[in-house]
């Protein structure tokens, strides 16, 4: 993730153990999971990186343009590009992979931006992951919303951001 194009800077830090450690993350590299919440219950997610990023909010105009491009073509093209990826083949059945091959996201999955479009995230396929709709996707989006809602609207904000690894999660 280092060197990611965008408005902010990103540096790989380690792994995050739970949301409470966001503000007190001293030894992130020793942690190997992320504890988030879904419908009021704790959910432990494995295989998660945490990146230290300089979060700078993008203009609404730029954000809308990126989102429009994602909705109009990138999601479809990403789905097609991962249909035969070894990790996808190992985890999804034939009908789900056929959906991907025609550019559609299978039921119970979402295409998710690892780094948000609101900041330095791009529509590059390396910034996308096919993620289970529940509980994984809401755990990440809720955490990301909590982090970004507490940032100052102007200037730079250094944050620790949970990122699912790979092209398919979990």
Q: What is residue 158's predicted lDDT score, i.e. its pLDDT? A: 83
For 66-109, write each residue's pLDDT tens digit. Answer: 999 999 999 999 999 999 999 999 999 999 999 999 999 999 99
Quick one: pLDDT band at residue 52, thresholds 50, 70, 90? confident
Q: What is residue 79's predicted lDDT score, i.e. its pLDDT? A: 99
For 95-106, write each residue's pLDDT tens digit. Answer: 999 999 999 999
For 108-133, write each residue's pLDDT tens digit. Answer: 999 999 999 988 899 999 999 999 99
Query: Helices marked H in the chain — which ranges?
Result: 60-69, 75-82, 86-91, 94-101, 136-149
pTM of the model: 0.80
Quick one: pLDDT band at residue 7, thresholds 50, 70, 90? very low
In this structure, the number of other CB atoms found within 10 A of the CB of residue 18 comes to: 15
Domain edges within the chain: 10-169
Q: What is residue 45's predicted lDDT score, i.e. its pLDDT? A: 87
Instruction: Report whether 10 contacts 120 (CB < 8 A).
Output: yes
Distances (CA, A) of 170 to 2, 135, 152: 22, 10, 32
The percentage of residues in the chain with a pLDDT greater than 90, rounded to a whole number, is 51
């Amino acid at each position: 993730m280092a060197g990611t194009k965008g408005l902010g800077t990103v540096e790989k830090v380690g792994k995050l153990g739970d949301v409470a450690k966001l503000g007190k993350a001293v030894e992130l590299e020793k942690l190997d999971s992320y504890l988030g919440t879904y419908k009021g219950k704790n959910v432990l997610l494995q295989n998660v990186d945490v990146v230290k990023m300089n979060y700078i909010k993008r203009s609404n105009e730029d954000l809308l343009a990126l989102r429009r491009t994602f909705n109009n073509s990138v999601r479809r093209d990403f789905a097609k590009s991962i249909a035969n990826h070894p990790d996808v083949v190992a985890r999804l059945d034939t009908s789900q992979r056929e959906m991907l091959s025609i550019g559609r996201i299978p039921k119970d999955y979402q295409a998710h931006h690892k780094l948000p479009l609101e900041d330095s995230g791009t529509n590059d396929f390396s910034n996308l992951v096919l993620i289970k709709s529940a509980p994984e996707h809401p755990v990440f989006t809720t955490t990301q919303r909590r982090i970004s809602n507490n940032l100052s609207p102007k200037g730079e904000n250094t944050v620790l951001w949970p990122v699912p690894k790979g092209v398919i999660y979990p």
